[in-house]
Structure 1
């Protein structure tokens, strides 16, 4: 894993935020480190249940890391796609509560 990327991620998570904004977080990493960081971010998201807003120009990265992808074209939403990956437990319970109530 890229040392500075890992440190930056740890600093962002130390206070257990409910929302994590990642703006092109993996763009400068080599391919192997990029995959390791993708796996780490998804794992932390699934374990802790915080919301991640990921800004990226890499569609394959967005699909690999997100449960929902919005593609912005000419300042408008051009695509709104749900991606089937396991959600954090906190999100599943929240959805069940809304559906039942």
Structure 2
């Protein structure tokens, strides 16, 4: 008979602060278990950083929206699709993405790299 295995639970923590020098990499040891400090993690589909910066999340959303629009452009140029289907695609996907991008750019300003 095989013995049941104990699953090792991975615990990570993040020190959140508004200060620029926050988040020193110090591990916490509790009851022979070491927890690692992380700088950035993905929580419920949103990127969270130890400096509470939202710019990375906005940049990720803008890039994914632009990638979606560019991938849809191939469908819109496909000749076998009817005009009705193309207009439905345009109304449901592209207009919403353009609106969201416009709102995010208006809130955070247009920045050229």
Higher relative contact order (CA 8 A, sep 6+): 1
Q: TM-score when scaled to structure 2?
A: 0.29
Q: Which has the higher strand share?
A: 1
Q: TM-score when scaled to structure 1?
A: 0.32
Q: Which has the higher helix share?
A: 1
Higher gyration radius (CA): 2
